[in-house]
Amino acid sequence: MTTLSPDILTTLEGQGIELPSWAFGNSGTRFRVFGTPGTPRDPYEKIADAAQVNRYTALAPSVALHIPWDKVEDYADLRRHAESLGVALGTVNSNTFQDEDYKFGALTHHDDRIRQKAIDHHFECIDIMHETGSRDLKIWLAEGSNYPGQNDMRARQDRLNDSLRQIYARLGDEQRLVLEYKFFEPSFYHTDVPDWGTSYAQVASLGDKAMVCLDTGHHAPGTNIEFIVMQLLRLGKLGSFDFNSRFYADDDLIVGAADPFQLFRILFEVIRGGGLNNPDVAFMLDQCHNIEDKIPGQIRSVLNVQEMTARALLVDRAALDAAQSANDVLAANAVFMDAFYTDVRPALAEWRLSRGLPADPMAAYAASGYQQQIAADRVGGAQAGWGA
Ligand code: LRH
Ligand code: MN
Ligand code: MN
């Protein structure tokens, strides 16, 4: 059995992956949203479910909120609820993609009234962050156009910058803004923040508290995402990850499911660039579980990240450096692949046991009866879903 060194285990112990509250609600495609028995009916129940993931893995110490999906009367109370279950409230995500007013733009809109409304929504998110104790405001914008000539792309960039400056100016000293990019959808011709370069240009003009968020599902097929990770770390502007998997577009499947090797390559660059267990780089999931149970889906996800992190930590960096310096292409590649092909699962299971955790968190959760309990308890009332 492969053993993991004390150094590697200490590094793994410091790993924390934030869960998205919306992963626990129902979701689907534009064709159908399937309900799941036991789906949370409100943000309190979403957080209770997220706490289960942490309970069996010790890998998920915080939960991200999406506003207004997670709107509550009293955020301090929600925070107490989370803390009583052993988790913290994390990133607050703004939402300017479901309001009729934002059909033609929000932070980029040419109508000052609508643009101000979108800015005010972000001010509200910052107020919430003060109550929840959150550090990061995550902004993803659905804005753009569908047809060439539809919009003045340049003017929209200028208005976006002005809007972001106003939002940035509202941040507290300990708070940050992370700007997420996505190459297309829902806009199909142009998107106002389509790539890391645009996000970088926008946040670089704001200041040190503004960073880029990299969602792994938001790139064109074949994109070398680990190169982008390397570059953003090199520039000191990688603020956070939204992890998920894609086969085709923004599929939001379980991280590491579609392409574990890509996840390994990304995590290798994170380690290489000093981004692992670095408080400046937040690890988050951004996933939806349309057909599988949501809590085990999230447990599988954080375990996938842990497993590929362990493999990436196994890369023999000295041997890799030597092979690279000697231009020994095949030896360098072999060092890399040896680590990737190492099965670390038995060693991780043994280590979990030594820390009082279940060797197999998926099995322990299945045996706990929680899934059956919530299915029985949460009948009646509307299930929370994407948009509720
Ligand atoms: C957009 C996105 C963004 C949203 C989330 C629900 O595709 O990745 O992060 O907030 O999905
Ligand atoms: Mn995302
Ligand atoms: Mn997405």
Q: How far out from the chain centre does Cα 12 lie?
A: 19
How far apart are the C-alpha atoms of 185 and 194, rounded to whole Å?
10
Q: Report yes or no on whether pTM surpasses 0.95.
A: yes
ipTM, interface predicted TM-score of the complex? 0.99
| Residue 182 CB less than 6 A away from ligand 1 | yes
What string of H, E and C letters represents the secondary structure of 250-316? CCCECCCCCCHHHHHHHHHHHHHCCCCCCCCCEEEECCCCCCCCHHHHHHHHHHHHHHHHHHHHCCC
What's residue 388's pLDDT? 55
| Residue 93 CB less than 6 A away from ligand 1 | yes
Upper half-sphere CA count for residue 288 (Cβ side, 13 Å): 19
Q: Are strands 190-191 and 144-145 parallel, antiparallel or unpaired?
A: antiparallel
What's residue 295's pLDDT? 98
| Residue 24 CB less than 6 A away from ligand 1 | no
- Written as tens digits, the pLDDT of the chain (388 aa) is 899 999 999 999 999 999 999 999 999 999 999 988 999 999 999 999 999 999 999 999 999 999 999 999 999 999 999 999 999 999 999 999 999 999 999 999 999 999 999 999 999 999 999 999 999 999 999 999 999 999 999 999 999 999 999 999 999 999 999 999 999 999 999 999 999 999 999 999 999 999 999 999 999 999 999 999 999 999 999 999 999 999 999 999 999 999 999 999 999 999 999 999 999 999 999 999 999 999 999 999 999 999 999 999 999 999 999 999 999 999 999 999 999 999 999 999 999 999 999 999 999 999 999 999 999 999 876 777 766 5
To test the ligand 1 pocket, which listed residue (96, 185, 242, 251) has its Cβ within 8 A of the most ligand atoms? 242
Identity of residue 71: K
Q: Is the separation of the CB atoms in 306 and 39 below 8 Å?
A: no
Q: Is the separation of the CB atoms in 50 and 24 below 8 Å?
A: yes
How far apart are the C-alpha atoms of 292 and 183, rounded to whole Å?
27
Beta-bridged to residue 138, according to DSSP, are 93, 178
Give the number of the atom of ligand 1 that is nearest the alpha carbon of residue 142: 1
What's residue 385's pLDDT? 75
| Residue 286 CB less than 6 A away from ligand 1 | yes
Q: Is the separation of the CB atoms in 75 and 83 below 8 Å?
A: no
| Residue 215 CB less than 6 A away from ligand 1 | yes
Q: Tokens for 382, please give them.
A: 């509307």
How far apart are the C-alpha atoms of 196 and 219, rounded to whole Å?
10
What's residue 331's pLDDT? 98
What's residue 80's pLDDT? 98
* pLDDT (tens digit per residue) in 281-329: 999 999 999 999 999 999 999 999 999 999 999 999 999 999 999 999 9
What string of H, E and C letters represents the secondary structure of 210-247? EEEEEECCCCCCCCCHHHHHHHHHHCCCEEEEEECECC
Give the residue, by CA position, lying nearest to ligand 1 atom 11.
286
How far apart are the C-alpha atoms of 189 and 178, rounded to whole Å?
24
In the chain the first and final C-alpha atoms are separated, in Å, by: 47
| Residue 69 CB less than 6 A away from ligand 1 | no
* pLDDT (tens digit per residue) in 91-146: 999 999 999 999 999 999 999 999 999 999 999 999 999 999 999 999 999 999 99
Question: In angstroms, what CA-CA distances link 100 with 173, 202, 235?
Answer: 33, 26, 37
Q: Is the separation of the CB atoms in 385 and 45 below 8 Å?
A: no
Q: Is the dihedral of CA 346, 352, 356, 357 positive or negative?
A: negative
DSSP class of residue 58 equals S
What's residue 387's pLDDT? 63
How far apart are the C-alpha atoms of 88 and 293, rounded to whole Å?
23
Question: In angstroms, what CA-CA distances link 304 with 57, 212, 276?
Answer: 11, 23, 15
Q: Is the separation of the CB atoms in 5 and 313 below 8 Å?
A: no
What's residue 1's pLDDT? 87
Identity of residue 253: L
Give the residue, by CA position, lying nearest to ligand 1 atom 1.
140
Mapped onto helix, strand or coil, the DSSP state of residue 173 is coil
